[in-house]
Structure formats: C-alpha cells, structure tokens
A and B are shown apart, each in its own frame.
Chain A
C-alpha cells in the first residue's frame, strides 16, 4: 500500500502539473482550441519525456559503468 502511495502521489502531481501547463499554453489560442490543447499537451509531454529519458540514460550508463 505504501509503495502504491509512493507512486500515485507523485504521478498525481505530475499529471496536475501537465494539466496546468497545457491549459496555460492553450488559453490565448482562440481558433481551433481543441487542436491547440492537444498539440500543447503532446509538446509538453515530449519535453518532459526527453528530460526524463536523459536522466534515465545517465543512471543506466552509471549502472553499466559500475557493473564493469
């Protein structure tokens, strides 16, 4: 249960954060708002994924180095 909470709480914060950023970046687009919302969401997710991927890559490289 504690492990689930440890994952659910940060995930909730991250999703809330992505939601806030998506709305902020869409609010001034008056035309085709739904399309802009979707585009912003994808953009923010890609930027986050790239940062996370860089972090994961760093940890993975370190792990490999330690194994050798």
Chain B
C-alpha cells in the first residue's frame, strides 16, 4: 500500500478527526472520575468528623472520648483533638500531630471560627498525600476545641490509577474499532477515485471505449460520467478525423488525377485536333476550380469549427438578402431551366445578423436545391414571420433524401448519391458549412424530405438583438 495514496490519506484524516474528538473526551472523563473519588472521600470524612465531634462533651477530659482508638482502626483513619489554645490533647499518633504539640494556623483558624476544615496535607516523610477534615467540638454552645480526622489519599489515588488504566484500554479498544471501520470506509470512498484514475490512464493509452460504472448521482458520479463521455467523444473525434482524412484524400485525388492526366496528354502532344485540346483544357480548368472551391470550403469549415470566424452583425432586411441570393443563383438555375420562385411576407421584422453569412447560407441551400432538382422544375423560397423569429423555407421537387441518409446529410463529405453529386460539382461540404453558419448566427436548421418528391429546408433566426448576440 502506498503511503501517499488517497485511501491512506482519507483513512488518516478520519483517524485524526476521531482522535481530535476522543482525546478531549478522555481527558474530561478522567477529570470527572478524579473529582468524583476525591469528593466522595471528603464527604465521608466530613460526615464522620461531624458525627463524632458531637459525642465529645468535654475537650479537656480526654478519658471521656468514646472508642477513640477503636474508631480510628475501624475507619482506617487517624484522629486528634486540640483545645482552643491549639494544643493537641489526644492523638492516635499520626504524622507529626502528637500529643502536646500545637496545630498550625491553617488547621486552627477555620475550626476556631466554628467552620469546617477540609485541606490536603503533604507530609515530608510520606510519599502520598493526606486529607484533613475537621469539625469544632461544641461545649455549652461555644467552640471548645476541634476534632481532626487524617486520612491517607493513597487508596483514592490507587482507584483513580485503576480507572485511568482501564480508560486507556477502552481508548485503545475504540481506536482499534475506528481503525477497522476507517479501513472499510476509506476503501469505499476512495474506490471510485481509483477507478477513475485507472480509466483516465486507459483513455490516455487509447482505450477510448473505457466505461466507468459508478452509479452515484453526486459529484463523484458526475465526474465518472464526464470521464466516460470524454472517452466517447474522443473516440468519435478519432473516427471523424480518420474518416475526414480518408475523404479529403479521396476528394483531392480525383481532380488532381484529372489535371495530371490531361496535362500529361497535352504535354506529350497526344491531341489530334484543336477541339480536343480545348476540351482537355476546359476539363483541367473545371477541375482546378473544383479543387479551389474544395480547399476554400475546407478552410471556411475549419475556421467555423474553431470559432475563428468573424461575424459583422447589423440590422438587415431579409427580403433584400433573399432577392440578392436568388439573383446570384439565377444563372445556374437557367442552365437547368429551373424556375426560382420567391414569395416573401411583406411585414417581416428586420433581422440582427451578419448579412454576408446569411446570404452564403441561402445561396448554398438554393444551389443545393438546383443541383438535386430535375431540369425544367422549380425551387420555391418563402418566409414565415413569428413573434420572436423569422423562418425561411427553400423547397425543391427533386430526388429527395432517402430516410437512411437523413441523419448524416450535415456531415462533412456525406453525399446521398455520390457519383451524381460529384458530377454536378458538389464538394460534400455545403450542408456542413450551412449548419455551422446557422448555429453561429444563433438560428436553427431543419429539413423534411420525401424520396422522389423533393426536400424542404427550413432555417429560423431570432429577431431579437440580444438573443442573436447571446447565441
């Protein structure tokens, strides 16, 4: 087990917190027991002194003291009596309190003032402490002397030591239990983190399908889901990148091979007449144009995906944008004898957007509609206005999009009918660019299509300035 692992750190933290609570608690319990034992002893001695002092009727007549020695032995204490001069008249002979000697002021004063004596006494000749408890002896309603009971604190100290020892053993027991449970708890708490650490390492090694099964809905569970999602997204990115490179190399290879082939024919003088030569030159020019368009589109898309495209927002009339777009595609429409019908609402609000980019979107969609429409058909463009947004519809009556292709039409290089699309000049990037641009302008794009009947593209933009900018 590593000492700097999260399991050990968690365990140590829990144990430290446990000790922080336990040690003050143990100290408090120890203090309580010590005070309890000492108080018990003091009360016992005071009680005895109080009762015995009442049996003495004359301080000076030492023979009248009842069972003086016997009580001392029975109670395992020592006694002495002194008169109001402070002279000890009778003593069981304890410490230096012998008969004929005088008591100190510390002992004399409280009793002489008809109070109770209760002090701890340290004898130089003994290793343990003593407790002195005294009461005044009342003769004819006056203090005639004092009775002092001297008791060793050795037994109390021993009891306290015993309690301390077993309290310590209890603490060790509690610590053992805490260590045991902390072991389980820290393992349980750190286990998801260790799983995540291992999963991220697996992802770093390239095993992107690594899945974490942590069912909790807290921050740890959320992090695990984020790691799983990260792996999945990286996997998706890797697949997309692979497909992208495969597609791009294929897309670039086709025009380059045309250009290379026909230019070699021309260089080697393998043309029979001027007409054939011009035909080959036209092909080379067309393919060069296609190559330029493809590279421009790729560059545009890359900029959009990296968010490096600059947008110039302004208030504009969507009717102007639609008219201008329709004019620009009219030549292409005329080549296929396709009619572009423009029906716009008269009362739509102004849009706060980038006019150039909006026109790019509309032109792309109309060109797409023309590309996939049969000759001598039509493309319809119309708008609908709502309270907070404007919708633009572009409808063609061409081949439509098969249901199985529908989810992929906005992906790069995805073509519904590959050979035809390439022949008609499509790069396979148009709709991907349109989708990115619409999203950048804060709008959304949808489509409905019926195979063999045509496709309807719907783009919607917010009319609110703040919404447009925020999106």
Contact = CB atoms under 8 A, between A and B. Distances in A.
Q: Tell me if chain B binds chain A.
A: yes
Interface string A1-31: 0000010011111101111110111011000
Contacts of A11: 180
Given A66-B216, A66-B217, A66-B221, A20 B179 contact: no
Contacts of B184: 10
Contact of A16 (B176, B183, B215): B176
A15 to B, nearest CB: 8
Chain A contact patch, size range: 20 to 34
Given A62-B216, A66-B217, A66-B221, A13 B174 contact: no
A48 interface: yes
A17 B216 contact: no
Contacts of B166: 23-24, 27-28
Interface residues of B, number: 21
Nearest to A28: B166
B278 to A, nearest CB: 74
Contacts of B183: 6, 9-10, 13
Contact of A20 (B176, B181, B216): B176
Contact of A24 (B169, B181, B217): B169
Given A10-B183, A23-B169, A24-B166, A17 B215 contact: no
A24 B170 contact: yes
A28 B167 CA distance: 12
A67 B166 CA distance: 47
Interface string B156-183: 0000000000110110111111111101
A19 to B, nearest CB: 7
A48 B184 CA distance: 15
Contacts of A19: 173
Nearest to A48: B177
Interface of A: 6, 9-14, 16-21, 23-25, 27-28, 48, 52, 62-63, 65-67
5 contacts: A11-B180, A13-B176, A21-B170, A23-B169, A24-B173
